[in-house]
Structure 1
Amino acid sequence: MSTPILQFGTSRFLQAHADLFVSEAMESGHAIGSITVVQTSGDPTRAGRIGAISAPEGYPVIIRGLEGGTPVERALRVRSVTRSLSTAKDWDEVTRIFVEEARVVLSNTGDMGYALVDGDGVNGVPRSFPMKLLALLHARFRGGGMPLTILPCELISRNGEVLQRLVVDLAGRHTPDEAFISWLTKRVVWGNTLVDRIVSEPIEPAGAIAEPYAIWAIERQTGLILPCEHPCIKVVADLTPYERLKLHILNLGHTVLADRWMREGRPEAECVKDILADTAIRAELQQIYRNEVVPGFRMHELGDEAEAYVETTLERFGNPYLDHRLRDIAGHHPEKIVRRIIGFRDWCPGVPMPRLSAIADR
C-alpha cells in the first residue's frame, strides 16, 4: 500500500473537507492516490479516532444546509484514508512514508500549530509541528530529495510562505547545510491555501457534520502538485482576495459573535443561528458589515465582492441544520481578534471602525 498524500492532523474539518474531496475524486479516477493521516498531538482522548478514520468501510460525513434556498441533506462515506498513525507511537513509519511515498503533504494543526517549544530539536521525536516537519524534510533530503508539495490548511495568512520561512529558519539553526536549505527553497513547493467550510459537529469516533458550501483555494505556482481534481478546489493566480474575504467577513463575524457570547455570559450550548435569532444582535452584525467592513474592502477595490460575500455569509450563519456552537468558535479568542479584527483594521487605515475597535481595544 502506497499513500502519496500524507496528512498531519485528524481534525473534523479535514475529515469533511480535503479528505472528502479526495474520496470523491478517487471514485472518478481524479486523485493521485489515498491518504495516510498522522496524529501530531499525542492526545490520548483522540486515540479512538486514529483507527476509525482509516477503517475499510470509511467514516460518515453528513452535509446539511441550504442550496439555492432548498434544504439538502446528504449522507456520504469517506474512504480516502487508508492508513492512520501517530507521531508519538509510529515515528519511524511516519518518517519512512514521508521519505518514500509522499508527493503531497497536508496539515491542519490548529490555531497554535506553528508554535515552537523551548529546547525542542530534530533528534528523537520533536515536540512541535514545525520541528517535526523539519526533521522529516531533512530525512527526505538525505533519502534522495524528491520534490514535494506542502499544502498547509491552517487559518494563517499566506500560510505556505509563513511555514516555509519558519522551517528554513529552523534549518539554519538545527541542520545548517546549504544544500539542504537550497532544496527546501527550490524543490519543495510551499503552497499558500485558503480553506472555507463550516464543519459544526463531530461524529464519534470519526466523521463530521458540515454545510454544503466549501472551497479550497490554492495559489498557482510552478511545480505545484494537487492531491486531486474537484469542483471545490480552485487554483488561482492570487489568493489575496479569497483570503481577505473569508478572514475579514466570515471569520471576523464569528469572532464578533463569540465576543458578545462571552461578554454577556450567554447559554453554554448557544449556536450561531441561535444568537442571530436575536434581532438586535443580527442588526449590529449587519451594521458592522455595512458600515465598517464593506468600506474597508472598497478601499481595496473589492467592495462588490465583499457585499456578495456578506450576503452569502449571513445565509450560511443562519443555516437551520447546523449546530455551530459559539463555545467552539471562542477558542483562542485573543489570537483570533489579532488576525481577524486588528489585522483588518491595519489593512484599512483611515476607515472608521468604532464597533470593531471596541472589541479589539477592550
Structure 2
Amino acid sequence: MATPILQFGTSRFLQAHVDLFIHEALARDQALGRVTVVQTTGSAASARRLEAFNLPGGYPVRIRGLANGAVVDQEHRVTAIDAGLHADRNWTAVCELGATSAQVIVSNTGDRGYELSDRDGPALLHATAAPRSFPAKLLVLLFHRYRRGAAPITLYPCELVANNGTVLREVVLQLARAWGLDDGFKQYLSRSCLWVNSLVDRIVSEAIAPAGAVAEPYAIWVIEAQKNMVLPCTHPQIVVTSELEPFERRKLFLLNLGHTVLAEHWQLHQLPKDMTVLQAMSDARMRAGLEAAWEEEVLPVFDALGEAGIARDYLAQVRDRFSNPFLAHRLADIAQNHEEKKQRRLRPVVALANSLQLPLAQPRLRAALGLAAARAAHAA
C-alpha cells in the first residue's frame, strides 16, 4: 500500500465526485495513482463502507439526470480506491503513508470538520493513538513527514468553507503554536505544504450500501492555482483558476442557499419527513418562496457585482438540477446542521448587500437568520 493520494473521509460525495474523477482519469493515464481512504469517525455506516473499499471489484456510482436535454442514466464501477484504513485502528499505517508515498491529501470531513478537541495534545506526536480532531490528525501526520525529511505535499480540502485551504492551514498552524512546536516545522507547514483552496459542486442524493452513490450528471471541481501544486488528476470537470471567489459565490448564494431556503420552509411547516427537493420544486408555495428569494434578495447582489449574466446562467442550471426527476434528494438530509448552514449560506448574502449599500430588504433571508427587518429608509 503505497498510494500517492491520501483521502480523509468516506462520504458518498467523495465516492461520486473526487474518487470517480480519479477513476476516470486513471483509465486515461492522467492520474497520480490510486487512493487510500481514511475513516475519521466512529460511524457504523462509514465502517461498512471502509470494509467494502477493501474488497475487489470497486463500488457503483450511478449518474442519473438530464444533460443538455438528454436523459443520462449510467453506472460506473469505481476502482480508484486501493485500500481503506480506520484512523483509530490503523493510525501508524496512516502516518507512514503520509510520511512517505503520499503526494496529495484530499479531505471532506463534514460541516464541523475543522473544530478542535480538548482531548488532543502534543503527547500525540509520539503516540500510536490517533488524535480526535481532523486538524490534529493532519498536524501529527505532517509532523511525521517533516521529521522524515519528506518532499512537500499538496492538500485539497473539499469542505464547504470559503477559502478552505487557507482556513485549514491557519487552524493547523494555530495548533502547532499551541503545542509549542519548533519554528522549522511551522515554516514547513506554511511554506512547503501547499494548502489549496477549492470548490466542489455535485448533488449526490443517495448512498448505495455498503459503498457507492447516486449522483447528478453536473459536476465541477474548481481549484485555485498555486505554484508547484500537484494535481491528483486531470479531468474535463476540473477547472484550475486564479479566481476562485466568483465560482464560490455562485454556488453558495444560489445552489446552497436555495437548498437551505427550502429546508427552512420544510422545518417551519413540519412537512413530510421524506420530502425531496423535486417535490418541493413541485409545490407552488415552496417554489414561489424560493424564486422570490433568488430574484429579489440574491440576484440583485450579483447585478451590483457585474456578474448578472453568468449568475443567471448558473441559476438556470440550478433550477434544472433541483427538478431532476431521477434524484431523491431529501430535505431531511439537507437540513442536517441547519442552523450552522444558515449562518454560512444566508448571512454572507445579507452582509454583502449591506457592504454594497444596496436597497434590499431581504425579508426572507433575514427572517431565517432571526435578524430584524431592514429599515424602510434603507430599503427605499
TM-score, length of structure 1 as denominator length: 0.98
Task: After superposing the two structures, state which structure 1 stretch, 52-61 or 209-218, moved more.
Answer: 52-61
Quote how far apart the aligned CAs of 1:310 are. Answer: 1.1
What code does the residue aligned with 2:365 have? L
Map Cα deviations across residues 42-76 of structure 1 (whole Å, 9 max, x no partner): 22343211021242200000000001121110010
Contact 2:100 2:150 in 1 (8 A): no
Q: Name the CA distance, whole Å, in 1 between partners of 2:366 and 2:26.
A: 47
Q: Name the CA distance, whole Å, in 1 between partners of 2:181 and 2:39.
A: 28
Q: Name the CA distance, whole Å, in 2 between partners of 1:19 and 1:249.
A: 26
Q: Name the CA distance, whole Å, in 2 between partners of 1:249 and 1:348.
A: 15
Quote how far apart the aligned CAs of 1:175 are. Answer: 4.2
2:326 is matched with 321
Quote how far apart the aligned CAs of 1:145 are. Answer: 3.4
What code does the residue aligned with 1:10 have? T
Structure 2 gap segments, 5+ residues each: 372-380
What code does the residue aligned with 1:356 have? L
Contact 2:263 2:335 in 1 (8 A): yes
2:42 is matched with 42
Q: Given the alignment, which residue of 136, 140, 149 partners 2:141? A: 136
What's the secondary structure of 2:324's corresponding residue? coil
Contact 2:60 2:211 in 1 (8 A): yes
What's the secondary structure of 1:348's corresponding residue? helix
Matched, 1:63 2:72: no
Contact 1:42 1:86 in 2 (8 A): no
Map Cα deviations across residues 178-220 of structure 1 (whole Å, 9 max, x no partner): 0000111111000000000000000000000000000000000
Pairwise mapping of residues 159-178 of structure 1 onto structure 2 (< 5 A)?
159-178=164-183
Q: Given the alignment, which residue of 195, 199, 203 partners 1:194? A: 199
Q: Name the CA distance, whole Å, in 1 between partners of 2:202 and 2:210.
A: 21
1:157 is matched with 162
- Size of the aligned set, in residue pairs, is 362
Map Cα deviations across residues 324-360 of structure 1 (whole Å, 9 max, x no partner): 0000000001111111001121122133112111111
Map Cα deviations across residues 234-254 of structure 1 (whole Å, 9 max, x no partner): 001110000010011100000
Quote how far apart the aligned CAs of 1:256 are. Answer: 0.1
1:87 is matched with 87
Pairwise mapping of residues 351-362 of structure 1 onto structure 2 (< 5 A)?
351=358, 352=360, 353-361=362-370
Map Cα deviations across residues 258-279 of structure 1 (whole Å, 9 max, x no partner): 0000111100110000011112
What RMSD in Å do the two structures reach over aligned CA positions? 1.0
What's the secondary structure of 1:24's corresponding residue? helix
Contact 2:35 2:83 in 1 (8 A): yes
Q: Name the CA distance, whole Å, in 2 between partners of 1:109 and 1:38.
A: 11
1:250 is matched with 255
Quote how far apart the aligned CAs of 1:302 are. Answer: 1.3
2:32 is matched with 32
Contact 2:4 2:104 in 1 (8 A): yes
Task: After superposing the two structures, state which structure 1 stretch, 148-157 or 340-349, moved more.
Answer: 340-349
Q: Name the CA distance, whole Å, in 2 between partners of 1:280 and 1:266.
A: 12
Identity of aligned residues (%): 47
1:78 is matched with 78
Quickly say closer, same or farther: Cα 1:173–1:218, change in 2 above 3 A: same
Quickly say closer, same or farther: Cα 1:197–1:45, change in 2 above 3 A: closer
What's the secondary structure of 1:49's corresponding residue? helix
Q: Name the CA distance, whole Å, in 2 between partners of 1:284 and 1:197.
A: 24
Task: After superposing the two structures, state which structure 1 stretch, 291-300 or 205-214, moved more.
Answer: 291-300
Pairwise mapping of residues 198-277 of structure 1 onto structure 2 (< 5 A)?
198-277=203-282
Q: Name the CA distance, whole Å, in 2 between partners of 1:42 and 1:283.
A: 41
What's the secondary structure of 2:118's corresponding residue? coil
Map Cα deviations across residues 84-119 of structure 1 (whole Å, 9 max, x no partner): 000010000001000011100000000011111123
Structure 1 gap segments, 5+ residues each: none
Task: After superposing the two structures, state which structure 1 stretch, 30-39 or 306-315, moved more.
Answer: 306-315
2:52 is matched with 52
1:291 is matched with 296
What code does the residue aligned with 1:203 have? I
Q: Name the CA distance, whole Å, in 1 between partners of 2:258 and 2:303.
A: 18
Quote how far apart the aligned CAs of 1:306 are. Answer: 1.2
Contact 1:152 1:191 in 2 (8 A): yes
What's the secondary structure of 2:7's corresponding residue? strand
Contact 1:87 1:94 in 2 (8 A): yes
What code does the residue aligned with 1:99 have? A
1:146 is matched with 151
Q: Name the CA distance, whole Å, in 2 between partners of 1:237 and 1:341.
A: 25
What code does the residue aligned with 1:359 have? A
What code does the residue aligned with 2:211 have? A
Quote how far apart the aligned CAs of 1:280 are. Answer: 2.2
1:309 is matched with 314
